[in-house]
């Protein structure tokens, strides 16, 4: 099962701890990246690579320990300051200093790597780099840029091959889990076939399942930085709740949560909204029902997709399925064509009239219904005479071919407006 203690501990952390954690991924302190082939895949955290490297290779951290939560996209060797411009970002850089003289060049080298968004530097201390200057250590601590060293006796070919294999293995496992979850959602008739895979990934297959959908709107159109942020966001969730399952569909991220209470899920969504949104990144979050059994996942996915569309349209987030009251019935309609047909049969003619005649009758009727059919209240709201309102309402009745006098008629129109929101 998920490591709930991790999440609950974070819910109780003090504000300073929250501030520090929220800084991960903000401004110049953010180094994360991802590969995408069909679905997005995440790389491994630097601290994960370092777990066994101390006794296997004599690796130790010299500075920037707070940055070891950076994501390692790849391993690369550089010996020249000038060649730093050829990296993409997210690489863990190894250097021996063989092309340099002395150690003074290291500060410029580190500054260049930081600007190029490498995730860290490993220095092979030996005949070429005899020691790391204090100025370099101070800079790395200031910028939370991980600086590590390995002794000269360590064969770099061994450690870089080991780290590369770990990256590949991590990505493969995450890709397999993503495929499993997508198969359950999009091929529900064979869902039971995937239970062993879920169990191997620490899911409680007899527990509750919930889907959290996340849309990300970027002001910065740099595709690479967008990938970086998506990967960072997923790692952030993983740090909060433990091991997660996710998949990507239609550019939205769908996180599958297992065995959490409604309160915990709500807290997670709200914290992500508050801490990860910024002037350059806007999140839209939607959360499905939290129900026992994987057989509910296809329906949960459909509901979340509908809620995400509604969140984009309203500009509201997060949206929770369990807060929609009677409108849950509409969210549960799997066939969107049914909803579209109903809307066009009721309000379609009025929408077409507005579009062709530059009127706003659709909005006027909505306000009328919201005010319980009070002509006077509507007149006061829009600051026109009630005779004008009566004239416009009569016009609307002719366009729609229906009266608003009966409760049934008003109910059908109100329902049509609710459907319109979901389309």
Tally Cβ neighbours within 10 Å of residue 39. Answer: 16
Q: What angle do CA 383, 388, 389 make, to 5 degrees?
A: 75
Q: How far apart are CA 47 and CA 64, in angstroms?
A: 12
Nearest to 396 by CA among 356, 423, 364: 364
pLDDT band at 160 (very low <50, low <70, confident <90, very high): very high
Question: Which domains are assigned to the chain?
Answer: 4-14+187-331 (3.30.70.270), 31-163 (3.40.1390.20), 336-422 (1.10.10.2840)
Which percentage of the chain shows pLDDT scores above 90? 30
Question: What's the rounded mean pLDDT across residues 351-356?
Answer: 91
Q: Which is more confidently placed, 246 or 225?
A: 246
- The string of pLDDT tens digits covering residues 253-308 is 999 999 889 999 999 998 888 877 777 788 899 999 999 988 889 989 988 988 89
Q: Which is more confidently placed, 65 or 410?
A: 65
3-class secondary structure, 302: helix
Those residues whose C-beta lies under 8 Å from the C-beta of residue 281, and which sit 6 or more positions away, are 216, 217, 218, 219, 220, 229
Q: Which is more confidently placed, 171 or 185?
A: 185
Distance of CA 242 to the CA centre of its chain: 16
Q: Is the Cβ–Cβ distance between 395 and 287 less than 8 Å?
A: no
Q: Is the Cβ–Cβ distance between 54 and 94 less than 8 Å?
A: no
Q: Is the Cβ–Cβ distance between 129 and 118 less than 8 Å?
A: no
User: What was the pLDDT predicted at 23?
Assistant: 31
Q: How far apart are CA 120 and CA 136, in angstroms?
A: 13
User: Is residue 140 predicted with pLDDT exceeding 60?
Assistant: yes
Q: How far apart are CA 312 and CA 94, in angstroms?
A: 44
Query: Residue for token digits 């340099």?
Result: 100
- The string of pLDDT tens digits covering residues 299-341 is 899 889 888 988 888 788 899 988 887 777 777 776 678 888 8
| 147-151 and 120-125 strand pairing | parallel
User: What was the pLDDT predicted at 242?
Assistant: 67
Q: How far apart are CA 347 and CA 26, in angstroms?
A: 46
Query: Residue for token digits 């190029």?
Result: 116
Residue 72 φ/ψ, nearest 5 degrees: -95, 110
| Full-model pTM | 0.59
Q: Is the Cβ–Cβ distance between 87 and 106 less than 8 Å?
A: no
Residue 23 φ/ψ, nearest 5 degrees: -70, -20
pLDDT band at 191 (very low <50, low <70, confident <90, very high): confident
Q: How far apart are CA 269 and CA 301, in angstroms?
A: 16
Nearest to 215 by CA among 286, 147, 149: 286
Q: What percentage of the chain's residues is helix, strand, coil (to nearest 5)? A: 55, 15, 25
Question: What's the rounded mean pLDDT across residues 15-36?
Answer: 32
Average pLDDT, the chain: 81
172 burial class (0-12, 13-18, 19+ CB within 10 angstroms)? Answer: exposed
Nearest to 266 by CA among 236, 244, 288, 282: 288
User: Is residue 83 predicted with pLDDT exceeding 70?
Assistant: no
Q: How far apart are CA 423 and CA 127, in angstroms?
A: 67
Tokens standing for residue 130: 């005899």
Question: What's the rounded mean pLDDT across residues 19-34?
Answer: 31
């Amino acid at each position: 099962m998920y490591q709930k203690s991790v999440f609950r501990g974070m819910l109780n952390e003090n504000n300073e701890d929250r501030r520090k954690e929220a800084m991960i991924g903000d401004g110049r302190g953010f180094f994360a990246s991802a590969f995408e082939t069909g679905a997005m895949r995440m790389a491994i955290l630097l601290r994960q690579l370092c777990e066994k490297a101390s006794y296997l290779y004599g690796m130790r951290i010299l500075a920037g320990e707070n940055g070891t939560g950076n994501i390692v996209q790849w391993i690369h060797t550089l010996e020249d300051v000038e060649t730093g411009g050829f990296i993409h970002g997210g690489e863990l850089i190894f250097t021996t200093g063989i092309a340099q003289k002395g150690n003074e060049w290291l500060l410029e080298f580190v500054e260049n790597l930081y600007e190029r968004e490498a995730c860290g530097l490993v220095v092979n201390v030996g005949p070429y780099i005899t020691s790391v200057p204090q100025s370099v250590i101070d800079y790395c601590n200031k910028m939370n840029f991980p600086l590590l060293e390995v002794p000269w006796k360590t064969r770099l070919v061994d450690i870089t091959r080991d780290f590369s294999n770990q990256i590949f293995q991590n990505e493969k496992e995450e890709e397999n889990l993503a495929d499993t979850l997508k198969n359950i959602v999009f091929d529900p008739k064979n869902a039971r076939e995937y239970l062993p895979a879920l169990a191997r990934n620490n899911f409680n297959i007899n527990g509750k399942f919930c889907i959290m959908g996340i849309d990300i709107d970027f002001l910065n159109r740099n595709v690479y930085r967008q990938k970086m942020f998506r990967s960072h966001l997923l790692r952030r969730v993983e740090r909060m709740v433990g091991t997660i399952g996710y998949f990507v569909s239609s550019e939205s991220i769908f996180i599958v949560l297992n065995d959490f209470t409604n309160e915990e899920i709500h807290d997670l969504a709200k914290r992500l909204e508050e801490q990860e949104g910024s002037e350059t990144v806007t999140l839209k979050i939607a959360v499905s029902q939290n129900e026992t059994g994987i057989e509910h996942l296809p329906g949960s996915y459909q509901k979340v997709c509908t809620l995400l569309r509604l969140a984009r349209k309203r500009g509201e987030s997060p949206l929770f399925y369990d807060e929609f009251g009677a409108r849950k019935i509409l969210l549960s309609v799997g066939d969107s064509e049914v909803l579209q047909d109903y809307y066009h049969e009721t309000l379609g003619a009025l929408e077409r009239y507005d579009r062709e005649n530059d009127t706003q009758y659709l909005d006027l009727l909505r306000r009328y219904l919201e005010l319980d059919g009070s002509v006077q209240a509507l007149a006061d709201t829009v600051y026109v005479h009630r005779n004008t309102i009566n004239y416009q309402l009569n016009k609307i009745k002719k366009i729609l071919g229906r009266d608003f006098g009966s409760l049934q008629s008003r109910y059908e129109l109100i329902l049509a407006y609710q459907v319109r929101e979901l389309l």
